[in-house]
Structure 1
Amino acid sequence: MSGGNVSDGVVRVGDTVRRPTGPWTPAVHALLTHLNEVGFRAAPRPLGIDEQGREVLTYVPGHVVWPDRSALLEPARQLARVARLIRDFHDAVQDFTSPPDAQWQVLIPAEGSDIIAHHDLAPWNLVVADESRWAFIDWDTAGPGSRLWDVAYAMHGFIPLSAYPDRERRDAGDRLRVFADAYDLDEAERRRLVPLLGRRTRSMHDFLRDQAARGVQLWATLWAAGHGDVWRSDAEYIEQREDQWVHALLAG
């Protein structure tokens, strides 16, 4: 199976995907069931637990955008569609009530807790089949968070907001505005978002650093491979350009 950074034990069986379970699985299944029941179809549907103790999800056909995200999301209308899809998810989850015994897998504590957020809305978790079917996968780290926490992370990945030569965008400000407009952020939300962009990105560096120091896999492997350097560099790039982001989001 492609997509994400964690694929051990994840297999496709016919039109289903089988994955190892965790204490968070019942809560995630309740979330996915709610999303499907209220009409949000851009997520897999849970089908229970199989005889081997694995969770069973509907298979989402298509290809994962990462790493060739530029080919798909270059037109502004495609980037806007991602933003609207995320807004649709956030609206759909707004009325979800967590089970009383919910045990979410919280990797990085979020700033705010107005919704159950995805926490990894990124190109490596966006599956596209055709113009009619886009969906987000890998919901295992869903948990308490905020709309802006999810949006800040998604903007980093989809615009992208990055200092690396092969990813840096001269039109990053314009794309930031396209995303914010499509999501329909109001002025107050845009002002709160700007400093959050850097903090959310830096939180990934700090998480990998701390997990690597404890020898926790797979995070230690990602840290050793240089992922921490990427997140730190991107955080610095974002933080140094806050005035540019404010202008892009509020001009006009």
Structure 2
Amino acid sequence: MVPGLTADPEFDSDSLRVIARDGSAVVRRTDWWSPAVQGLLRHLERVGFAESVRFLGLDADGNERLGYIAGVSGMEAWRNVIPEAGLQAYARLLRRYHDAVRDYVPEPGAAWMTTDRPLRPGEVVSHGDVGPWNTVWRGDEVVGLLDWDQAAPRPALHDVAYALEYAVPFRSDEDAMADIGFPAPPDRPRRIRVFAEAYGLPTADGLVDAVLAEQEETLRATVAVAARGLQPHADWVAAGFAADQQRRIDWTRRNRSLLE
């Protein structure tokens, strides 16, 4: 807990950095990737991407202050992408972000959580953790995108695949209904097509393979970050994350007939 501030139950105490609310700001401790993310957030504000959190500066202790976005996030936000209208809004949000960052070039030497390499041709600074739980909704409108810690140079398709993994979802019918709240088994091929069309892709071809590649990269990157002692990643890996993630990868490989 940041001294003198009050914990807000809306924020997860097991998040990457201690979080507290100070009026309309969220106060977070910084780490090695923070300057790179702050540069990204400044760019998004300059180009008018309204849904990103705003970087408000550092306090006297070196903690960063971010603008608070009011609305529904977390599991409740995940449920907002079950209806096709919500799924389309989610895809359009991601496309607006990628359009906003398309020409952004980070400062030389920018170090991200998962890499310190520069952009490669055809890449963007991806969000990296664009799951439905990191969106903010007011009614049926998506108004925010949270938790930029895992931003890094990647193909934009990585974000698309990450979003699809959880919004389609790439998991069993039982898990989709019991854990997320789908009222019936999801029509996965249709949901992939709906997302792809709303995002602006010319075709949904190859997206299942893109999700597989993203799942494998997520496994590699999470284990690598955990090996550096970063929390909560280290605890996740200690609790069996690698085996759980491998099971997700195996499910995708076994169930292509449900997905295509």
More divergent stretch after superposition (192-201 vs 115-124): 192-201
Q: Which amino acid aligns with 1:180?
A: A
Partner of 2:180: none
TM-score by length of 2: 0.81
1:128-167 equivalences under 5 Å are: 128-163=137-172, 165-167=174-176
Query: Residues 202 and 5 from structure 1, CA distance in 2 versus in 1: closer, same or farther, beyond 3 angstroms?
Result: farther
**One of 198, 201, 204 as aligned partner of 2:215:** 201
- The aligned counterpart of 2:235 is 221
Unaligned runs of 5+ in 2: 1-9, 178-184
Distance 2:250 2:116 in 1: 19
Choose from 246, 250, 259 the match for 1:232. 246
**TM-score, scaled relative to structure 1:** 0.84
**Aligned-partner Cα distance in 1 for 2:229–2:31:** 20
Distance 1:15 1:105 in 2: 26
SS at match of 1:27: helix
1:72-221 equivalence runs, <5 A: 72-106=80-114, 114-163=123-172, 165-167=174-176, 169-187=185-203, 190-209=204-223, 217-221=231-235
* Paired AA for residue 53 in structure 1: G
CA deviations over 1:174-209 (Å, ceiling 9, x no partner): 11111111111123xx43433121121133334445
Work out the CA distance in 2 between the residues paired with 1:178 and 1:5: 34
The one-letter code of the counterpart of 1:96 is Y
Which of residues 228, 241, 245 in structure 1 aligns to 2:255?
A: 241
Q: CA deviation at 1:242?
A: 3.7
User: Of the candidates 32, 35, 55, which is equivalent to residue 46 of structure 1?
Assistant: 55
Greater mean deviation of Cα atoms: 158-167 or 2-11: 2-11
Partner SS for 1:63: coil
1:228/1:107 CA distance change after superposition, 3 Å: farther
Q: Distance in 2 between matches of 1:108 and 1:173?
A: 36
Q: Displacement of 1:233 after TM fit?
A: 2.0
Structure 1 unaligned regions, length at least 5: 248-252
- SS at structure 2 position matched to 1:165: helix
Change (3 A) 1:24 1:113: farther
Residue aligning to 2:6: none
CA-CA distance at 1:212 after TM superposition? 5.8
Question: How many equivalent pairs are there?
Answer: 243
Shift in alpha-carbon separation, 1:108–1:67, aligned structure 2, 3 A = farther
Alignment of 1:6 with 2:20, yes or no, is no
Identical amino acids, percent of aligned pairs: 32
CA distance in 1, matches of 2:252, 2:218: 14
Structure 1 residue 123: deviation in Å?
A: 2.2
1:63 to 72, 80, 84: 72
